[in-house]
Amino acid sequence: MMARMANKSAKKEENPVAVNKKAYHDFELVEKFEAGLELRGSEVKSLRAASADLTGSYARMQDGQCWLVGAKIAL
């Protein structure tokens, strides 16, 4: 029974919280990169409730770090 619960939680982590579907339509995506975000406070609860909007957002490299710009995460 524990193995089944472990598989269920691992499967849940694989699904993205938000996807910018318009980017696939408006742009030719040549490469894909997967990255994690450090979330603090209310952002975690909002993303778990699927309250994120990636429309018009993009990633910017600055000083060796990748920044997500223009994303909207409810408080």
Inter-residue contact 46 to 73 (CB < 8 Å) = yes
pLDDT of residue 19: 78
Residue 49 in domain: yes
pLDDT of residue 14: 65
Q: Strand 52-53 vs strand 72-73: parallel, antiparallel, or unpaired?
A: antiparallel
The mean pLDDT of 52-56, rounded to a whole number, is 81
d(CA 52, CA 50) in angstroms, rounded, equals: 6
d(CA 75, CA 67) in angstroms, rounded, equals: 19
pLDDT of residue 63: 93
CATH (domain of 30): 2.40.280.10
* Residue 26 domain boundaries: 18-73
Residue 11 in domain: no
Residue 4 in domain: no
Q: What does the pLDDT look like over 6-53, one tens digit per residue?
A: 555 544 556 777 777 888 888 888 888 777 777 778 888 888 887 888
Residue 10 in domain: no
How many domains, the chain?
1
